[in-house]
Structure 1
Amino acid sequence: MPTRTLIVALLATSTLLSAQTYKDPRSSLEIFEFAAPGVLSMNLYYHFSNFTADDSNVIFAGGSQIFRLEMKTRTVHQVTTGDGVSPYTACPHPKNANLLYYMRGSQVTELDLAANRERRVGDIPMPHVGGHQQPSFTADLKSLVVSKMRDAKTWEIGLMDIATGSYKTVITQGFRIGHIQHHPTLPLIFYVWETGGYAPQRSWLVNDDGSANRPFYASTDPKQWVTPLKEWMTHESWVPQTGEMTMIMDKVGIVIVDVDGKSRLLPGDYWHVHARPDGKFLVADDNKGNLWLIESATDNRRLLASGLREGVRPSHAHASFDHSGRHVLFNTGHTKQVIALIDLKAAGLF
């Protein structure tokens, strides 16, 4: 069992925002843009919340460190310092608003935002040459799903006990794994064969004890799931309160699918999609740089923002909701590459 140590010298800093608020010319909604001063700032991948459990802070990456936007005061606070921080691995605790977890090299680190203190949870054991992705909480919140690249041909998913730091292997694969996400209520892990494009079989499920590894969906109707070349389903994210998953079918639309592979399609040339925790609304960007609010039951759409790719080409919008569903967060290149917020309540849409 690894030795756990406290690291106290974080010395987090705070600063007034470098920010602007503007009205979108097409939607007429007010959009708040922000960034950490002096560094490239982007939100986290949207399959986990970018917000602390009480929605009081936005957690985001600024350069090589992790920052938080305090929603009430609209100030930015740097919450990590030093070398080895992987800012895009930050994962806020879904129930405890003070805690988030991230990778510092192969070390899983717990950060207490209120106490400004870190705890070394444990180290992913050798062999590994990298491949440490954003951790994912198991349904009971007692362990984190972590990953590593063992060698040039082998990748591994494991579980680390949050209290003790003990590690156990779930599964190894002979291909690059990505988008690892534990199901919100079931003992089930989703992961993908990451190729950066088409994959013979991209989406997989495995029980968190390592049993029953299988493709995510049965190929009983290939036309429902694949393009004429190979599979091109991507940008997956569990819906916390329904246990379904949202996906993008390239050039076709949004797919909402349950764990048995049954699905329904919302047509459109979308790029990324994320569901409100109750699954009743979706937020999705399209390839033209528009951001849409979509009612999942009816496919009714409302434009939220436009021109996300006009000023500069952002990495990806990666839009998401906060826990309440009131705020939508996304990357934008409207004027420069920054992070943006829309208050749906202020807009009369919540």
Structure 2
Amino acid sequence: MIRGIVAVALALACASVAAQVGRQFPSEKQTVVDRVTGRPLAVLTAGTSSDAKIYPTHPQWAADGVHILFRSSDRSTDRTPQIFVVNEITGVITQLSDGPGVDAGSINVARQTNKVYYLRRAANDAPGTLIEVDLDAFFRAVANGEAGARRFERTVGTLPKNFIGAGGFTLDADEKTAYLGFDQRRAPARQPGQPVPQVPGGLLAMDLANGKTRTVLEVPFRMGHVQANPLKPGEILYCHETGGDAPQRMWIVNADGSNNRPVFPEHDDDWVTHEQFADADHVIFNLMGHTTRLRQRPTGIMVVNLRDGTMENLGQPDSYYNAAQQQQYSDPNIPSGNEARGGFWHNAVTYDRRFAAGDDFDGNVHLIDRRTGGRTLLTTGHRMRPDHTHPSFSADGTRLLIQSGLLTDGQRLSLIVVPTGVTVGSR
């Protein structure tokens, strides 16, 4: 009898969780005006929940150009991290995933089709799975009240039983393969204020048609920031993840494991971070200049040519970040006092080689015209906590998506769309 009661209770609990997929939230959209630049900012999430955008190495907007994917740690009824989608026009928010094991920290939005991919990690050491969501079918199901049937989901494949994810995953340019970073063995927990513990890592490939997996390569360090070339199939960029300054940060490899090589060989006084593809043949990254020592060499947002190694320097603001806000930086590598030079921290780029963007240590976001070198201050004061702004361009370059602690004094993040005043391909 007791077993029967427990079974019914568990079934009811599972049904309650499953009912969360397709759950909609009223619009939180509002417009605020930047007090310095005068630009209107479209606030999509109000900061009442703990929301965050996808990391800037990956697309933010679905292929339909209307829906933005994001994660939230407390919007679901069971308070577990889940995936949500917000309509940029109407502001309506819809829950896309539910239940335990959803890796909401690594969401892949397809560029060629209106689909989304995410990992679900099973309990009790069972193998995890890669899930595909057809957004068009999803929204039809939501409109018809049929989201619970999950006919819009497909299990692409099952990961190896002992797979330990690290560095996220990415879709190849032809969207035929996913590449997933992994640890070769379990790493110790990272301690507050300490570097990321190092264990050997690697890359796994999964065929999106049949779910078959293969190992691309193994490396002697912690894998990070896995991202495929968005315009040229068969190239994967990754980094040596230390949580700070790595001896050689950026690496690139072919999909068959060949031609594994460093990108931008580093000197001892170079601090490289926040790399992403700028187009099929270039990588944009930050050569940090937040200390006087680092400023003794050229620093700023840089673009390196993957084919011949030539460099483009997009500049560096000569500023000192606000010493009164230094407590927001938990990284012991971030200096204080007279060493607090600041400068650019993260970057964004349009694939037409025309525009870039960067945030600085005070949470200001700048637009950079790569042809003229001109720099425009777009928006200001986006408290770089509880996380950084991480700007990302829309596909047409007219907007930047950022996450900001401005509205909550750094307690929670809001998703904000910033107009750039430019369009990809404009002259």
TM tier relative to shorter chain: 0.7 to 0.9
Aligned residue number for residue 249 of structure 2: 202
Secondary structure of the 1:131 match is strand
Contact preservation (8 Å) 1:226, 1:233: no
Q: Paired residue for 2:214?
A: 168
Q: Name which one, 1 or 2, has greater alpha-carbon Rg.
A: 2
Mapped partners of 1:23, 1:148: distance in 2: 43
The CA RMSD over aligned residues, in Å, is 2.2
Aligned equivalent of 1:340, options 416, 420, 423 = 416
Letter in 1 for 2:311: S
Q: Which has the higher contact order (CA 8 A, sep 6+)?
A: 1
CA distance in 2, matches of 1:36, 1:119: 32
Q: Is the 8 A contact 2:166 2:223 kept in 1?
A: no
**After superposition, what is the alpha-carbon deviation per residue over 1:164-197, rounded to whole angstroms, capped at 9, x for unaligned?**
0000100111210101111231522111110011
For 1:343, the aligned partner's letter is P
Query: Structure 1 length as normaliser, TM-score?
Result: 0.88
Q: Does the CA contact (< 8 Å) of 2:234 and 2:254 recur in 1?
A: yes
1:81 corresponds to which letter in structure 2? Answer: D
Q: Which amino acid letter does the alignment assign opposite residue 319 of structure 1? A: P
| One-letter code aligned to 1:16 | P
1:32 counterpart = 2:42: yes
The residue type equivalent to 1:273 in the other structure is N
The secondary structure found in structure 2 opposite 1:134 is strand
Residue 56 of structure 1 contacts residue 70 of structure 1 at CA under 8 Å; is this kept in 2?
yes
Q: What is the TM-score of this pair, normalised by structure 2?
A: 0.73
Residue 266 of structure 1 is matched in structure 2 by 314
- Give the superposition deviation at 1:227: 5.1
Q: What is the correspondence of 1:1-350 to structure 2 with a 5 Å cutoff?
A: 11-35=21-45, 39-63=49-73, 64-97=81-114, 99-105=115-121, 106-116=128-138, 117-128=152-163, 130-152=164-186, 153-183=199-229, 184-217=231-264, 219=265, 225-226=266-267, 228=269, 231-240=270-279, 242-251=280-289, 252-260=299-307, 261-268=309-316, 269-309=343-383, 313-336=385-408, 337-345=413-421
Which structure 1 residue ranges, 4+ long, deviate > 4 Å from structure 2? Answer: none
Contact 1:36-1:62 at 8 Å conserved across structures = no
Q: Which runs of 5+ in 2 are unaligned?
A: 1-17, 74-80, 122-127, 139-151, 187-198, 290-298, 317-342
Q: Could you tell me which amino acid in structure 2 is paired with residue 213 of structure 1?
A: N
The runs of 5 or more residues in structure 1 that have no matched partner are 1-7, 220-224
CA contact (8 A) 1:36 1:76 kept: no
Give the match's secondary structure for 2:136. coil
Mark the CA change 1:19 to 1:139 in structure 2 (over 3 Å): closer, same or farther: closer
Alpha carbons of structure 1 residues 115 and 9: separation in structure 2 relative to 1, 3 Å: farther
Opposite residue 226 of structure 1, the aligned amino acid is: H
Tell me the alpha carbon deviations over residues 195-238 of structure 1, each in whole angstroms, 9 at most, x when there is no partner.
01121211111111011212123x4xxxxx4352xx41110111
* CA distance in 1 between partners of 2:72 and 2:352 (Å): 30
Q: Distance in 2 between matches of 1:36 and 1:86?
A: 23
Offset of residue 11 of structure 1: 3.2
Q: Give the percent of matched residue pairs that are identical in Structure 1 and Structure 2.
A: 30
SS of aligned partner of 1:315:
coil
Distance 1:193 1:137 in 2: 20
* In 2: Cα distance, 1:237 partner to 1:132 partner: 17
Contact 2:28 2:91 in 1 (8 A): no
SS across alignment from 2:41: strand
Which one has the bigger strand percentage?
1
